């Protein structure tokens, strides 16, 4: 392995690990850490694990993962040493009320019913994603009990999917 690369223990397929190398060029796009596939150390096994299987594996943070979650995990000497999870987060989308029905508490009733449905799925949280600049929606969801959480969301388009 080159001097400027370090294996992270995260993998992509059996026998491969994700390594990082820093490219030169201050102030340019090349001065970024870029993922590259590197040789595995042959002691770390990468495999897909379902939510129910994850409940059988000791978790360093004690989390009980949802049934429908999916993970790619790294194991060494029979112990989990890394994980990346895919979790379907229940979140509200497509909220709309006809203009003549606004101010009638219809939206609050719709939210309440959706919350009941999510609880029936044994989920403990419901999220709402809002545009940063929509103050009207921010105030409305706060009035019906939702709180802003201190997270930053990132997205990546997966081309060829």
pLDDT tens profile 130-149 = 888 999 889 999 999 999 99
- Higher-confidence residue: 32 or 161? 161
pLDDT, tens digit, 9 for 90 and up, residues 81-126: 999 999 988 999 888 999 999 999 999 999 999 999 999 988 888 9
3-state secondary structure labels for all residues of 143-160: HCCCCCCCCCCCCCCCCC
Q: What is the pLDDT of residue 75?
A: 95
Instruction: Please check the confidence at residue 159 and state whether its pLDDT lies above 50.
Output: yes
Confidence of residue 14 (pLDDT cuts 50, 70, 90): very low
In this structure, the answer to whether residues 81 and 100 fall within a common structural domain is no
Task: List the domain range (segments joined by +) for residue 101.
Answer: 91-143
In this structure, the answer to whether residues 19 and 32 fall within a common structural domain is yes
In this structure, the answer to whether residues 19 and 72 fall within a common structural domain is yes
Domain for residue 152, yes or no? no
The alpha carbon of 36 is separated from its chain's Cα centroid by a whole number of angstroms, namely 22
- Higher-confidence residue: 43 or 101? 101
Domain for residue 154, yes or no? no
Q: Contacts for 105-110 with beta carbons within 8 Å, 24 or more apart?
A: 107/140, 107/144, 108/144
């Amino acid at each position: 392995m080159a001097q400027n690369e370090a294996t992270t223990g995260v993998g992509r397929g059996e026998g491969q690990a994700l390594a990082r190398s820093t490219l030169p060029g201050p102030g340019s796009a090349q001065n970024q850490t870029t993922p590259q596939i590197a040789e595995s150390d042959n002691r770390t096994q990468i495999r897909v694990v379902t939510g129910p299987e994850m409940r059988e594996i000791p978790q360093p943070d004690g989390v009980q993962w949802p049934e429908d979650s999916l993970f790619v995990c790294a194991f060494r000497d029979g112990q989990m040493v890394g994980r990346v999870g895919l979790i379907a987060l229940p979140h509200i989308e497509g909220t709309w009320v006809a203009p003549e029905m606004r101010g009638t508490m219809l939206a609050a009733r719709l939210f309440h019913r959706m919350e009941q449905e999510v609880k029936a799925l044994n989920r403990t949280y419901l999220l709402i994603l809002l545009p940063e600049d929509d103050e009207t929606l921010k105030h409305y969801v706060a009035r019906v009990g939702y709180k802003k959480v201190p997270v930053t969301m990132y997205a990546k388009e997966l081309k060829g999917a």
